Each structure stands twice: as C-alpha cells, then as structure tokens.
Chains A and B, each alone.
Chain A
Amino acid sequence: MAVKKDYKDQKLVEKLRDRNYYIPDSNPEFIKEVEQIGRTAAHMCYQCGTCTGSCPSAPRSSYRIRLFMRKAILGLEEEILTDPDLWLCTTCYSCTDRCPRNLAPTDVIMAMRNLAARRDIIPRNFLKTTQLIYETGHGVPNNDANRAARKKLGLDEEPETTHKYPEYLPGLRKIIDHYGLKERADKILSEGE
C-alpha cells in the first residue's frame, strides 16, 4: 500500500509487523542458482508430496523435502539457508527415484547446502566429519567395538581402506586441501568456541 502504518515507536512497529507474510518472489534468482548447481528443473515441482512420503528422515524429524522445494521456487533464500532442517536429508535418493515430475529433490537439497556453505552455514557435526575424514579417511572411523565385531565375523580387524593402507592418506588430504575444506572447518569450529 502506498500509505504505510507508522506507530512512531520503533519497538511497537517491530512487534506488530506481519510476521507470517512473505514476499513470494523475494529472490527470483535463487531458484535459478539452485537449478544450475543441482542440474534439475526444480521449478517444475507440482507439490504432490511423493518426496516427503518417501523420505526416511521425514517421520523422524521436522524435515519436509516438499516444503524445501516450495520455498526454493518462491525464492525464500534466507529462510532456507538458515534452516537447520536443511541438513537432515540422508541423501538416500528415495525421493529422486519416485518423483513423478522426474526431478531430483536430493540434488536440490545438495545445491542449497552448497549455497549455505558458501556463507559458512554448516552444522558442527558436518564440520567434525570433515576433520575426521582428513585425519582418518573415514567419516566414521573404526573403533574397538567394530574391530571385535569384524573379528567375530572372520574379517580382518581393519577394512580395506585408509585404515589398512595409511599410505593413501596423503593423497586424500591433497584433495581436501585443494578445496580448503579442512582449513575452513577448523576455522569455523574455532570461531564457534
């Protein structure tokens, strides 16, 4: 409206602000960027909900992949990138298998995580995983319980990975260093402390 409400008192204005309203095309470029990174036509989502229905994360959390699709189309960039639910996708690709519009919702989520990461918005557990991979080559390194279980099954205590062949670790670190991932993780984690 041309005439704006003004209560003169800044606190009151803030309190009475229409919180539920959003501007539907707050960033029309956002969906284009997501599509470019995700390589999937996210704007063709018709909101059927097959993805959320397929999602193993959905019944265990407040994560709703369909809602993320909707918000992405509407360009609700801020809201998406600061939402902790963004990180609850297990990347199982069930939704991508079943989407009737032949979209890849998983890749939409991955694209938006990438965009979040550009702003250093990454949950601590993901950063710690990065550090672990750098140190051991594993997101979840071997431990004593696993070693005992492997032995019982007649397997070598260490799997056929960097655990058994630590000589490959430097190569792996080279890749991670190339992208500066470890450095970044260390930095963000230390800032958080």
Chain B
Amino acid sequence: MAEIKKNEEPRIGVFVCHCGTNIAGSIDVAAVRDYAKTLPNVAIADDYQYMCSTPGQNKIRDAIAEHNLTGVVVAACSPRLHEPTFRNATAAGGLNPFRFEMANIREQNSWVHMHQPEEATAKAKDAVRIAVAKASLLEDLIPKSVPVEKAAMVVGGGVGGMQAALDLANAGIKTYLVEKNPTIGGRMSQLDKTFPTLDCSQCILTPKMVDVYRNENIELLTYTEVEGVEGYIGNFDVTLRKKARGVLTPAEAEARGIIGGGCTGCGDCEAVCPVIKPNPFELGMAPRKAIYIYHPQVSPLIYTVDFDACVKCGLCVEACGEKKAIDLDAKDEFMTVKVGTVIIATGYDIFPIEKKLEWGYKRFDNVITSLEFERLICASGPTGGHLVRPSDGETPKKVAFVLCAGSRDNTGVGKPYCSRFCCMYSLKHAHQIIEKIPGAVPYIFYMDIRSFGKMYEEFYYRIQNEGAKFIRGRVANILEDPVTKNLHVNAEDTLLGRPLDIEVDMVVLAAAVEPSAETEKTRRLFGVSCSQDGWLLEAHPKLNPCGTTTAGVYLAGVCQGPKDIPDTVAQAEGAASAASIPIHRGEVELEPYFAQCIEEKCAGCGLCVNLCPYGALALVEKDGRKVMQVTEAKCKGCGTCGGFCPGGAIKMQHFTTPQIVAQIDAFLLGGEQ
C-alpha cells in the first residue's frame, strides 16, 4: 500500500470508457473527455474502448506517474462492477486506492437514455464534473484488519444446516450447530421417500445425523435458540438459550457427579408418564407423552420433558432409577460463544392452507396436506404406512393432488412465488399410491409441471407411464358430500376447455411453504435482510447466492427460498466454503468508511449512541470530559450518526461533509450555461 500522502494541490486524471458501444452508442465520449479537460483541477483526460481491460488499467497507472496525479476518476459502469478493478489500478500507480472515484455513465445513463444521445451526453458531463469535485477532496484511507475467531456457528439443524456443519467441521473448524427442536433432521426426517430416486429419506439422513453427533469438531446444541448477537465478522458473540430439557446427557450427569448415569434412551420414563399430548413431528396425528422423543432415530437420543404439559408426578424419575437422568426442576440456561462466521439454515414451514377457504382444509376430513400425506404413507408413521381416510379409516382409491395450493397466488392470502418442490413430490406421491394401493388412481391437477432438475423430467415421464392422470387446471373449489365424506373437485380441464367435477375419496393439497416461524427473529439478530415474502436475502442472486449483506453471515437451504434437498445440500456446501474462507485467512479487512469523532467539536451529548443501528458508538472519558468513540469494526458507514450530530462532530470517512457539499455545488453551480 502506498504511503499516506498529504493533501496538496489536486491533480485529477479523468478516463472515459466506451464500453464497446454500450456507452459510446449513445454518449459522445470524445465530447465528455474534452469537457473534462476544461474542469478545474483536471490534469489529464483520456478515453478508451474498455477501461477495465489490461491496457485500460495501464493507462491509469501510467498517467498517475506521468502527471503526478492526486486523484483518479473513471466514467464507466456501476461501481458495483468495477470499483475494485480501478482501485487496484490506482494503487498500481502508487496512489492510495481510496483516491479513486467512479462516475456511472452506463447503467444510470447510456442504457436508460439510449434514444436521447444529446441529453445523455450532457448528463455524462454532469456526472464527470461531480466526480471530479469529489476526487479533488479525497483522502488516503487505510482499511482495518481484524482477527477472525477460528470457530463457526450454524443455526438450524435440517439437512442444510447439518451438511454445512459437517463441511466446516471436516475443514478443521470448531462448529456450533444450534437447533431449536430436541433433535436435528428438520423436515427431511418427516419425509417417506425422496424424488427422483425414491430413496428412503430416513435411510439416507440417519447416517448423516450420526456423523454430526459423532464429529468431534461439532458441538451439537439441540433444544437451543439464539438469544442475542453482538459483534461483527470475525468476532460474533452469540448468546444462546439452552431450553430446560429436564433430562441429562451422560456427560451432563457426570458433571453433576452421577457416574455412569444420564439418559440412555431406554424409554422406561415414557412408558410410565401419564400425560398424553399430540406429537408435532407426526403433525398431531399420533400421541406422545410429556416426556418424549420425536421418533426412534432422533439425534441425540435423549428424552425431553415438555414442561408445559408435565404434571410433575415424578413417575418418570422413579422409572429412570439409578441413571438419575431426569431433573424436573431444570431451568433454561444461557451461554455465550464466540465465532468468526455464521450460517443461517432455519428452513421452512407449511403455509396454513386452511386460509384458502375454497379447498376446505380443516373443514373437510379427507382434505389433507402433502406433509400429512408423507407421514401417513411412511412405514414408521402413525398408521404404519397405510394411507387412510381420516373420516372413516378406509383406504382411498381415487386421490386428487392439488398443485400450487397457495403458491403462485397474488390475492394476498397465498404466496406469489412457486414453492418449487411440490410438483416433484406430488409426482412422487402419485407413484406411492399406485405402488401401495391396488387399483388406486391419482389425479394430478396442475398448471405446469415444473420438473427442472437432473432426472426430474424423466421421473415425470415414469409417473405418467405408471398411470397417473394429469388434468391441466387449477382446482377452483372442493365440496364435501356430507354423507359419504367424499369430495367433489371442481376445475377446468383447460386442454379441452371444459369444466369438470370429479368425485374422489381424498384430496392432498400441495401446500405452499413459507419461512419457518423463528426465521424473522433470527435474521434480525444477525442483521440479515429479507425479501418481501420473508425469505432471507442473499448478497447477489446470481454471483453471491450464499452470502448476505452482513459480512460473515451466510445462508443455506430453504430459509433463502424454496429449494429441494439436492439444491439445499449444494447451497449448504457453498455456504460452508464461503464461511470457512475468513476463518482460514485468519483476518478480514473492513472497508474504511467508518465514522470518526472530531473530538474538539463533540459536546458529549451521547444522542448519537442510541441512534446507531449497529451499536458501534459509545461515550468515553477523555482528558476529563466525555466524548464519543467509534468501534470501527462495528461501524458499517451508514451515516445515521453523521447526518444527525447537531455539532457536526462526526466525520464519515470517504463521504465527508466537504466532499458531499462539493458534489452538490458542482452539480448546481457548474455546467455549461
């Protein structure tokens, strides 16, 4: 890095890019260049076909030496695209890279004013004049390096979170895997088979769950939630609430001096517990006790007391005996861990489809959701894998599958997006009933079949060949026969242009999905943005799909948007790789756009301290008086404090008041008469 130069008489170099014809097609580049030469402080103005190319960059480097420049302006595309490129070129010429300023004359000019060359050229001149005004006042800045804690956290223990944690751990990074439920596994553990290969979901998931449990670099924290987050990339202090589980692991028991004790998963407690509650894992279709596990393959295999239901009769304590695993007086515990990077993988919930009244979910017994179907068709589910009608326990023969139930819906009741895996799992469901129930006929009501993945179209072909009936048309409404509890499905067969009414035994709604209940709270704690519909927002939809705008926080799986298991796992591996980079480098550079306190001007009122959304400011004693102090690593340069300070005591580096005023002046006062 160049030495910090004292501000001297500014000498600015201006470079106007043609971008092939992207800019030169509508802007008179030569005119802009010649105009730049007339501006105060401009020492040289030049133009080139592609400023970002090696010869273009060399022009900048050479001009800095030749003309002894103090600042560089490139009029070209958006700084999002090439600011880093031109900063490097500026540094290569021996200047501090922050002495570079960019004028966007492409995205905000030539592309939108394609048919107004004269006005576009005038606007480009304005942009260059404004940039030169700022460049004349730019100062040397030194980015700040902070060390990175060699540990990571993954929030959410579905297949996405598990994969991310395994990758991080296998890369040698200590990883905390935080899961709010008593077991890891997420939605995938509720599925029977998985498209398009039809492998049994539990069979491929359980080994992964065991790997997570056994991996010595993973600290598995189930029945745990994130309570608070402090800090920034490299140094997040995360406070966790370990919910009172009421049952000790062997390790916890040992810590309490109960040697050889702790829960072995024997289930003796469950047998004696007198309280019966619906099991949420079975979507309420099977009972559990107040002391419970979700299902036999849980990881860790430790029981949990539901203290909202427990009557504290103590029967379980007695049954547990010498293992002394049960502590009915357990309280929530808090712990704080320090991690360098974080991956959020909080998954999804099923949209409450009863809100779409016309399909009668929760009104008609035999209308179920696809997730309920998964449990009913699963051999380890509440009916032992026998699909039955809730109304009478009979095996349904004619089953209608309603696709896009609540998805692709712009009424404000449902969701505007495509839920992305329902087409495929409905094909799978059709296959499952054909396979399991002799003579069963699945009717698939669809608008499009979106079978986009590898081997997915082939799967669609296979299911059609197996005899599934496809009806192109969204189901308008469903009516129930009050006597037989059969259902009448009304739709249009849009391929024939005729309305139709089919009587079926059961309807399965491929309900839309939405971000899981606690995603909103989690994202706020970590300062991650979300899109309108609540899915967490990636840094760039194409070029940075795992990152977020908060440095050091990454996304994996459905919390970022609906995706199936292959895509979830792929994104999880991407997120793990991204999250491991700062940890392996050991330190990160922060953009030096920090607020700075001008202590002579600071009155110590402290009003800015509460305004800062990132908690970067504090009042400190200095020379016998109170002044504000910035924790630079926390400051995001948002400018909230700088704009507010009544005494003008806060300087926003790279966006100082004189720089901004000069830009405004250049715009208002300058220009051709």
Interface status of A1 (Cβ within 8 A of chain B):
yes
* Docked-complex contact B496 and A41, CB < 8 angstroms: no
Complex CA distance for A70 and B495, rounded to whole angstroms: 8
- A41-71 CB contacts (< 8 Å) to partner B: 41, 43-44, 46-47, 66-67, 70-71
Residue among B461, B483, B488, B496 with max Cβ neighbours from chain A (10 Å) = B496
- B442-491 CB contacts (< 8 Å) to partner A: 443, 461, 464-465, 467, 469-472, 479, 481-484, 488
* Docked-complex contact B464 and A24, CB < 8 angstroms: no
* Docked-complex contact B499 and A1, CB < 8 angstroms: no
Q: A46 — which chain B residues lie within 8 A by C-beta?
A: 464, 470
Q: A25 — which chain B residues lie within 8 A by C-beta?
A: 441, 469
State the total of A-B contacts with C-beta under 8 angstroms: 45
Given contacts A2-B481, A70-B495, A24 and B461 within 8 Å (CB-CB): no
Interface status of A165 (Cβ within 8 A of chain B):
no
With both beta carbons as reference points, the residue of chain B lying nearest to A101 in the complex is identified as B461
With both beta carbons as reference points, the residue of chain A lying nearest to B467 in the complex is identified as A43
Q: B496 — which chain A residues lie within 8 A by C-beta?
A: 67, 70-71, 74
Interface status of B119 (Cβ within 8 A of chain A):
no
Complex CA distance for A43 and B463, rounded to whole angstroms: 11
Q: B483 — which chain A residues lie within 8 A by C-beta?
A: 2
Complex CA distance for A24 and B500, rounded to whole angstroms: 8
Q: For the complex formed, measure the closest distance between the CB of A13 and the CB atoms of chain B, giving whole angstroms.
A: 17
Q: B471 — which chain A residues lie within 8 A by C-beta?
A: 24
Interface status of B664 (Cβ within 8 A of chain A):
no
With both beta carbons as reference points, the residue of chain A lying nearest to B499 in the complex is identified as A20
Q: For the complex formed, measure the closest distance between the CB of A20 and the CB atoms of chain B, giving whole angstroms.
A: 5
- B486-536 CB contacts (< 8 Å) to partner A: 488, 493, 495-496, 498-502
* Docked-complex contact A21 and B482, CB < 8 angstroms: no
With both beta carbons as reference points, the residue of chain A lying nearest to B470 in the complex is identified as A46
Q: B461 — which chain A residues lie within 8 A by C-beta?
A: 44
* Docked-complex contact B464 and A20, CB < 8 angstroms: no
Interface status of A179 (Cβ within 8 A of chain B):
no
Q: A71 — which chain B residues lie within 8 A by C-beta?
A: 496
Given contacts A44-B461, A46-B464, A20 and B498 within 8 Å (CB-CB): yes
* Docked-complex contact A21 and B500, CB < 8 angstroms: yes
Residue among B469, B470, B495, B498 with max Cβ neighbours from chain A (10 Å) = B495
Q: For the complex formed, measure the closest distance between the CB of B120 and the CB atoms of chain A, giving whole angstroms.
A: 44
Q: B499 — which chain A residues lie within 8 A by C-beta?
A: 20-21
Interface status of A7 (Cβ within 8 A of chain B):
no
- A162-190 CB contacts (< 8 Å) to partner B: none
Q: B493 — which chain A residues lie within 8 A by C-beta?
A: 24, 70, 74
A24 touches which of B465, B467, B482, B502 (Cβ 8 Å): B502
Q: B498 — which chain A residues lie within 8 A by C-beta?
A: 20-22
Q: A44 — which chain B residues lie within 8 A by C-beta?
A: 461, 464-465
* Docked-complex contact A41 and B465, CB < 8 angstroms: yes
Q: For the complex formed, measure the closest distance between the CB of B366 and the CB atoms of chain A, giving whole angstroms.
A: 15
Q: For the complex formed, measure the closest distance between the CB of A62 and the CB atoms of chain B, giving whole angstroms.
A: 13
Q: Mark A3-46, 1 if CB is under 8 A from B, else 0.
A: 00000000000000010111011000000000000000101101
Q: For the complex formed, measure the closest distance between the CB of B559 and the CB atoms of chain A, giving whole angstroms.
A: 34
Complex CA distance for A25 and B469, rounded to whole angstroms: 10
Complex CA distance for A41 and B479, rounded to whole angstroms: 34
Q: A73 — which chain B residues lie within 8 A by C-beta?
A: 469
Given contacts A24-B500, A24-B502, A41-B465, A2 and B495 within 8 Å (CB-CB): no
5 interchain pairs (CB within 8 A)? A21-B500, A22-B498, A43-B465, A47-B495, A70-B496
Interface residues of B (CB under 8 A from A): 441, 443, 461, 464-465, 467, 469-472, 479, 481-484, 488, 493, 495-496, 498-502
Q: Which 7 A-B pairs have the closest CB atoms?
A: A2-B483, A70-B495, A47-B495, A20-B498, A2-B481, A20-B499, A21-B501
